[in-house]
Amino acid sequence: MDTLRLAIVGYGKIARDQHHPAIANDPRHRLTAVASRNASVPEVANFESLEALLEQGPEIDAVSLCTPAGVRTQQARLAMAHGKHVMLEKPPGATLAEIETLREDAERHGVTLFASWHSRHAHGVAGAKRWLAERQVRRVDIEWKEDVRVWHPGQAWIWQPGGMGVFDPGINALSIATAILPRPFHLVDAQLQVPGNCQTPIAASLDFVDGENVPIHAEFDFRQQGTPPIWEIHVETDAGRMTLEAGGRRLLIDGKLQQEGPDAEYAGLYARFAELIAEGRSDVDVSPFRHVADSLMLGYRHTVEDFIE
């Protein structure tokens, strides 16, 4: 397969820290251009907008959209109309409905659309899915807690409509849960803590059940201070307790380490993107995003103290 010529659109922290290194280390991809208002990258073509890149830039095969979700749909539609394959950072859009438009566009233009969920590519996730497939799940507990000032410094957009607040990291947990659990599940209760000066929650307590009434509880919190983040999923089964730690990098069974690997989630994303393009397919799974939408629709909002950066 020929090397895919890629452009990154929106060169912020996630693009700099994760996307660019993953592309650089994968011989199937080559970073050819960047479109960003606030950053430029040496040794590639740089543009202030996707429009300028498509009109004036070098030939590219695909774009990786790392811009805020609110502008991503317009950019994805433009790229696909120009015959480019598109990878969407999570979440894949600002609303569920617009993603259906993108799905139709990809089919009409004959290009690949990839709604990416990086946490699904954490080292222990595939093993967890295989292990659970042969067990009876009895209960699931998810704990996803981090300090917003450390992980999202100065990012005011996260508190605005569409920014998702604590669901920005929480959706990573939901992306793993929807991948590893053997049955679909749905929300039955959501308690959201929303700072008085924000539009999105700083913490959330969620209860789900699956088709066999297995309880699934999740606690998301942006106020974890002074200790490392907690990114864990615990599953009680008829054959013991399975745990994913460190966002899925470590897999344990009854407290005994089974698998542990490096942080290579974005390498997995780009390998998957290349595979989809080679096969002429798209992957647009919105199940984690649907759970967030349900939580924001069904959740009871508790006003808490203002958030001050």
- Please count the helices (runs of H) and the strands (runs of E) in the chain: 10, 15
> Is there a single domain that holds both residue 123 and residue 239?
yes
Task: List, for residues 107-121, the tens digit of each pLDDT value.
Answer: 999 999 999 999 999
Q: Is the four-CA dihedral 24, 27, 32, 36 of positive or negative sign? A: negative
Structural domain boundaries enclosing 18: 4-115
* Predicted confidence band of residue 180 (pLDDT cuts 50, 70, 90): very high
In a domain, 155, yes or no: yes
Peptide bond connecting 262 to the previous residue in cis, omega within 30 degrees of 0: no
Given 115, 132, 149, the domain boundary residue is: 115
What is the tally of structural domains in the chain?
A: 2
CATH number at residue 43: 3.40.50.720
Q: Do residues 300 and 187 make contact, with C-beta atoms less than 8 angstroms apart?
A: no
Given 75, 98, 115, the domain boundary residue is: 115
Q: How far apart are the first and last CA of the chain?
A: 47
In a domain, 283, yes or no: no
Task: List, for residues 235-261, the tens digit of each pLDDT value.
Answer: 999 999 999 999 999 999 999 999 999
How far apart, in whole angstroms, are the C-alpha atoms of residue 107 and residue 121? 25
Task: List, for residues 57-99, the tens digit of each pLDDT value.
Answer: 899 999 999 998 889 999 999 999 999 999 999 999 999 999 9
> Is there a single domain that holds both residue 153 and residue 92?
no
pTM: 0.94
> Is there a single domain that holds both residue 233 and residue 191?
yes
Task: List, for residues 276-285, the tens digit of each pLDDT value.
Answer: 999 999 999 9
In a domain, 281, yes or no: no
Helix axes 287-298, 96-109, angle to 10 degrees: 160
Q: 263 or 307: which carries more pLDDT confidence? A: 307
What share of the chain has pLDDT > 90, as a percent? 92
- Point out the residues that are catalytic: 90
> Is there a single domain that holds both residue 79 and residue 131?
no
Given 115, 145, 162, the domain boundary residue is: 115
> Is there a single domain that holds both residue 228 and residue 197?
yes
> Is there a single domain that holds both residue 60 and residue 104?
yes
> Is there a single domain that holds both residue 124 and residue 158?
yes
Q: Of 259, 286, 29, 56, whose CA–CA distance to 174 is shortest?
A: 286
> Is there a single domain that holds both residue 111 and residue 130?
no
> Is there a single domain that holds both residue 94 and residue 171?
no
* The token pair that represents 147 in the structure block: 């300090």
CB atoms within 10 A of CB 171: 22
Cα 150 to chain centroid distance, Å, stands at 18
> Is there a single domain that holds both residue 234 and residue 133?
yes
* The token pair that represents 31 in the structure block: 């970073």
Answer whether residue 228 shows pLDDT above 60: yes
In a domain, 278, yes or no: no
In a domain, 127, yes or no: yes
> Is there a single domain that holds both residue 138 and residue 214?
yes
